[in-house]
Amino acid sequence: MLLTGAKIVVECLKEHKVDTIFGYPGANVIHIYDVLYGDKAINHILTAHEQGASHAADGYARSTGKVGVCIATSGPGATNLVTGIATAYMDSVPMVVITGNVPVHLLGKDSFQEVDITGITAPITKHNYIVKDVNRLADTIREAFYIAKEGRPGPVLIDIPKDVSMNEAEYIPKEPKEIIRSREGITEERLQGAVDLIEACEKPFIYIGGGVVRSEASDALLELAEKIGAPVASSLMGLGGFPGTHKQFTGMIGMHGTKTSNVSITKSDLILAIGARFSDRVVSNVEKFAKHAKILHIDVDPAEVNKNVVTDHYIVGDIKETLNALNKKVKKIDRSSWINDVVAYKEKYPMTYDKHTLTASTIIGKLDELTDDETIISTEVGQHQMWTAQHFTFNQPKEFLTSGGLGTMGYGLGAAIGAQIGNPTKRVINIAGDGCFKMNLIECATLVNYKLPVMILLIDNNVLGMVRQWQTLFFDKRYASTNLNHQTNFIGLAEDFGMKGYEISHIDQVEDILQKALAQEGPVLVHCKIHEDEKVFPMVAPGESIDALITEG
């Protein structure tokens, strides 16, 4: 059948079972929006800003496992998506980003609202396209969805000039190409090498990253960890990939990881790094990292192997497929002595806090007590992000949404919107710092417009807390531009948007206010005022070994 480019876009989205798009209209996507207007199969969520749309598509993708989709017009509409695209790229989130552009004959002429968005996003997309011929549009969209999801997921951008969306071409429906999990590198030789290392060691330690969550390998990981008697620590991105209440789980690892995780990995003789990239925030000083351990690296992306840390053995392939294959080959090994040592570390170095003082840890810890395992938590970036990772328990994957690689302030509220749209029956909470919240707080309008029951837990210390912490510890308390000194009435602001607002200013209010907020059926903000010098501990100083932790003492 003969369809316009705009109709082809929408039909291809429906081929891929897309039920939701996040976006903001403009002149160069107006024909696509005109088609969406009459189509009931796809729900369009109008955000307050294009960056909010990109973060919402990201949160939708992370929390559902589907491909997130967002759309914006050319020029500033497209560039406003860039931070969200980069966030998704760093954290391996499958997204298809659609942008409009000026007509083909005006490209390269500095036309009104023209920008080379494919050139801008080349380093931060898994692949991108500019479609100058409507006859290539359908196959380009199909290929984009495949690339976004296949192997190591990531964002793909499709730039569509306005006349391409207006022109007609023959459209023939097609079933989406099947995503086949990567198995080529999972050979008998590679598997046997891994089994030999596992059986020869005495103190194995599993370090997981976001790849475990993306590949839906949590069950296979749990089986392997219990089978070989290995404690498990997680990077920030891997939280939820292994049950947080499990005896063998030691918590987060790295700069703000638990002392149990950092000490245990240092004492291990084999590190199984699974779906993780040995980030500088985990490894710290590479020369001092786990000097006595051999390293077995399992990852879907060959570019990650030997990139940051040299391995002794590796398997390149889908995480779930690899772990299932390993579980068939490896024997059950009794390492109760090693596990007991690690449990003793957990008892010796607990992640505790003063429950009688109003702190972020107290508030987040109480929130953890009052919510169930189905709760989805998003965060912004900074101290509150680390307190959440330390004091909120994640027992399931896809329920902790945070910007790990890029560290994007302003990410969490948009992500919470996407997660709530994708998971309408689940409780979604965005834990935010005051500096981050102010960056994209306009999306509170989106919460209200769509009556989304998202709770915002606003941790307010009136400073840029993480930077101030570094200034306190390493820059002789020279607080350059980190005192925010805002006079914002956050409760009044929430109410002006049309949200319910609550204030926590004393420890005795914490449980009562949180319960009231959790009982709300619509969007709600809880403003928590904490001391400006509350810090995130433990912490590894720059250049130190990860077991050389600064503690609050």
Per residue in 476-525, pLDDT (tens digit) is 999 999 999 889 999 999 999 999 999 999 999 999 999 999 999 999 99
Mean pLDDT of 294-315: 97
pLDDT grade for 551, boundaries at 50, 70 and 90:
confident
CA distance 192 to 100: 50
* Superfamily name and number for 2-170: Thiamin diphosphate (ThDP)-binding fold, Pyr/PP domains (3.40.50.970)
Mean pLDDT of 434-458: 98
Mean pLDDT of 336-355: 94
Per residue in 205-220, pLDDT (tens digit) is 999 999 999 999 999 9
pLDDT grade for 312, boundaries at 50, 70 and 90:
very high
Asked whether the predicted pLDDT for residue 401 surpasses 90, the reply is yes
Contact 363, 432 (CB under 8 A): no
By the 10 Å C-beta count (0-12 exposed, 13-18 middle, 19+ buried), 387 is classed as buried
CA distance 454 to 376: 10
Per residue in 262-287, pLDDT (tens digit) is 999 999 999 999 999 999 999 999 99
Question: What pLDDT, on a 0 to 100 scale, did the predictor assign at position 81?
Answer: 98
Active site residues: 50, 112-113, 162, 466
Closest CA to 77 of 51, 102, 55, 57: 51
In the numeric block, which tokens belong to residue 273? 């790094």
Closest CA to 269 of 293, 288, 290: 293
CA distance 268 to 290: 8
Closest CA to 157 of 208, 110, 205, 119: 119
In the numeric block, which tokens belong to residue 212? 């475990």
- Sequence length of the chain is 553
Mean pLDDT of 192-211: 98
pLDDT grade for 95, boundaries at 50, 70 and 90:
very high
Contact 423, 448 (CB under 8 A): no
Angle, vertex CA 214, rays to CA 185 and CA 328, nearest 5: 50
Domain chopping of the chain, boundaries? 2-170, 188-348, 360-533
CA distance 425 to 553: 43
Topology of the domain comprising 188-348 = Rossmann fold (3.40.50)
Mean pLDDT of 461-473: 96
- Domains 188-348 and 360-533 fall in the same CATH topology: yes
pLDDT grade for 291, boundaries at 50, 70 and 90:
confident
What is the side-by-side order of every strand in the sheet holding 127-130?
43-46, 20-24, 68-72, 95-101, 155-161, 127-130
pLDDT grade for 290, boundaries at 50, 70 and 90:
confident
CATH class of the structural domain 360-533: alpha beta
Tell me the one-letter amino acid at 345: Y
Alpha helix positions (H), 356-474: 360-370, 383-391, 411-422, 434-440, 444-449, 465-474
pLDDT grade for 553, boundaries at 50, 70 and 90:
low
Residue 243: asked if its preceding bond is cis (omega within 30°), the reply is no
Q: 226 by DSSP, 3-state: which?
A: helix
pLDDT grade for 164, boundaries at 50, 70 and 90:
very high
Q: Please tell me the number of Cα atoms within 13 Å of 339 on its side-chain side.
A: 16
pLDDT grade for 22, boundaries at 50, 70 and 90:
very high
In the numeric block, which tokens belong to residue 65? 């496992």
Per residue in 230-260, pLDDT (tens digit) is 999 999 999 999 999 999 999 999 999 999 9
Mean pLDDT of 13-33: 98
Asked whether the predicted pLDDT for residue 536 surpasses 90, the reply is yes
- Tally Cβ neighbours within 10 Å of residue 201: 22
Report residue 136: phi and psi, to 5°.
-100, 0
Contact 273, 296 (CB under 8 A): yes
Asked whether the predicted pLDDT for residue 396 surpasses 80, the reply is yes
Question: What pLDDT, on a 0 to 100 scale, did the predictor assign at position 437?
Answer: 97
